[in-house]
Chain A
Amino acid sequence: MHITQGQFSFLPPLTDEEIRAQVDYAISNGWAVSVEWTDDPHPRNVYWNMWEQPMFEIKDGAAVIYDLDACRKACPNAYIKVNAFNSTRGVESMVMSFIVNRPAMEPGFRLIRQEGEGRTVRYTTLAYSTETPPGSV
């Protein structure tokens, strides 16, 4: 299983050089850059753990790579993504987000169906990775 969230999940894994190029693009647009990680890749898990604060008014992409390395060292088997945030009025939201680290084995999701009346089904998606307590892997 290979989760395909983010901008570049259909491409071969990005090298550090390629990550740096994307970060530089964000910086050149004046966007804030942040690093986030999680054990729970559920598609509705929008609050991954922040690795340090988002970097506002950042000038040098090396700082992001430095943080990313520290995050990878601390959680090598987690999902890690790099985000860019645009604070312009009318946007004020994420404008880039791509995965830069994955667990060696991605266990994927279980789909649970609860049958209801009139052939309706209530669906629940469970990440196998959350079947053990957080941080225990």
Chain B
Amino acid sequence: MNTQTDGRITDIKERYKGGVLKYKQMGYWRPDYTPKETDFICVFRITPQDGVDPEEAAAAVAGESSTATWTVVWTDMLTAYEDYQAKAYRIDAVPGTGVGTDKEAQYFAYIAYDIILFEEGSIANITASLIGNVFSFKPLKAARLEDIRIPVAYVKTFKGPPTGIIVERERLDKYGRPLLGATMKPKLGLSGKNYGRVVYEGLTGGLDFTKDDENINSQPFMHWRDRFLFCMEAVNRAQANSGEIKGHYLNITAATMEDMYERAEFAKQLGSNIIMIDLVIGWTAIQSISNWARKNDMILHMHRAGHGTYTRQKNHGVSFRVIAKWLRLAGVDHLHAGTAVGKLEGDPMTVQGYYNVCRDTVTKQDLSRGIFFDQDWVDLRKVMPVASGGIHAGQIHQLLHLFGDDMVLQFGGGTIGHPAGIQAGAIANRVGIETMVKARNEGKDILNEGPDILRAAARWCKPLEQALETWKNVSFNYASTDTPDFVSTPTTSG
């Protein structure tokens, strides 16, 4: 058989004589290929089945996520098929796996896709290719999409966040500090009137935002119209009490798009400045609501409900950094991106990588934070990351040190669970944030001096003292399941 050094069969008769060929033979393994500026590049972490060589496994991923089917089809020859074939062009063994380790061999497979494969401005379309069939493919034990480089030409086909960090701050007239929020608790069971009370107490105490939880829609204990009406009374009262703009993320997630539009329109009619959706509504619904939000000057909050089912395990699924990139394109303004120190999964460096993807103008390759590629966002607006889940006032210095000003800090239990009440909880957190921002700006080393800085403020702020005392021993120190695998390269200057 006439084959190239990379295993390709270039003789047309041989290539298309019918039957089953290896993916390498079909041309999906191209170690000589240099990706074009307009190509998508994906890096998959793959675990081949025993006996499947890694090049063939990488070629299979390229094939199954682009043009290939399990057998040879002559109809390929009606197309410029070489352009439509994705090309696996590089494989690296994942450090700490394979021979001599206790883990089975894994590889990072780099695959390039020509831009012609994708419909402009459609996350649904790119996901149908890139994470379509390929993750169920038998020759692989597991596969994970680790990162993606999206060509600038394709980024420009999206409108991105309807509001973005900068405009959100200008609308709220709040600058130079993290925004402060809280998720209403208990998640389920409160009537509209009682729920609005929690919103009112939190916002009046000093929160900027309160939030519906991801599973608050329109249940028997609280129908959505009731919730919206009572919450807006609370928002407006708190605004008048404080002279500050306040907001409550009204969750419009519902069974159908018609229901979601109806709820969004009602939120607008009541003067809400923000609405909320859950990731589980799907890419098409997200892009539709993003368009609606853009048309109606509404901040769009995204709760990443469900992502842990496919982002958390290192060997299989899709990394959240990829989901974050797609969501920035699809167009959301707020995105839950982890806390590193709270109750939910998140290695600090990895989480910083997600924050960078949300907020950078140009994201630079940064393997220690799991970022494989440079990504130019071509002035697409920035997404405000949200830190939420098991965080409290005693961690403010760590959160500010890790993530900076442009985020929303959401202390749910850490506000509502305060022993002196919800307003006291809000005051404690707001004083904590303002104290820490002021200290950082004054040049203090907040990571190390943070606990002392908080204690000093607690001497004049009783609610902060109570918060620090209540949660002093609460930390969630478990090993992360999702951490970057890389070997830092020693440099000569080092």
A residues in contact (CB < 8 Å) with B: 1, 3-5, 7-12, 18, 21-22, 25, 41-44, 46, 83-84, 89-98, 108-111, 118-123, 125, 127
Contact = CB atoms under 8 A, between A and B. Distances in A.
- The 6 A-B residue pairs with the shortest CB-CB distance in the complex, in nearest-first order: A3-B243, A96-B176, A25-B441, A123-B236, A111-B240, A109-B240
Interface in B420-466: 427, 430-431, 434-435, 437-438, 441-443, 457, 460
Chain B facing A: main interface SS: helix
Contact of A43 (B166, B239, B269, B460): B239
A94 B438 contact: no
Contact of B175 (A42, A90, A95, A127): A95
Interface string B172-201: 011111000000000000000000000000
B449 to A, nearest CB: 15
Contact of B240 (A4, A10, A125): A125
A10 B166 contact: no
B443 A120 contact: no
B244 interface: yes
Of A7, A8, A91, most buried by chain B (CB within 10 Å of CB) is A7
B59 interface: no
Contacts of B166: 90-93
B170 interface: yes
| Most chain A beta-carbon neighbours within 10 Å: one of B441, B443, B460 | B441
Contacts of B170: 46, 93-94
A11 B434 contact: yes
B237 interface: yes
Interface size class of B (residues with CB under 8 A): 35 or more
A108 B243 contact: yes
Given A21-B442, A121-B232, A125-B236, A8 B434 contact: yes
B244 A7 contact: no
A121 B233 contact: yes
Interface of B: 166, 169-170, 173-177, 206, 225, 229, 232-233, 236-237, 239-245, 269-271, 361, 379, 382, 405, 427, 430-431, 434-435, 437-438, 441-443, 457, 460
B169 A119 contact: no
B465 to A, nearest CB: 15
Given A1-B243, A3-B244, A97-B175, 13 more contacts: A7-B177, A42-B243, A89-B361, A90-B379, A92-B166, A93-B169, A94-B169, A95-B175, A95-B176, A95-B405, A110-B240, A111-B239, A125-B239
A85 to B, nearest CB: 9
Contact of A10 (B173, B175, B427, B442): B427
Given A41-B243, A92-B166, A109-B243, A10 B430 contact: yes
Contacts of A93: 166, 169-170, 175
Looking at B166, B232, B361, which has the most chain A CB atoms within 10 Å of its CB? B166
B443 A25 contact: yes
A121 B233 CA distance: 8
B173 A43 contact: yes
B442 A7 contact: no
B242 A4 contact: yes
Given A5-B173, A25-B443, A46-B170, A90 B233 contact: no
B63 to A, nearest CB: 39
A106 B25 CA distance: 79
Nearest to A85: B175
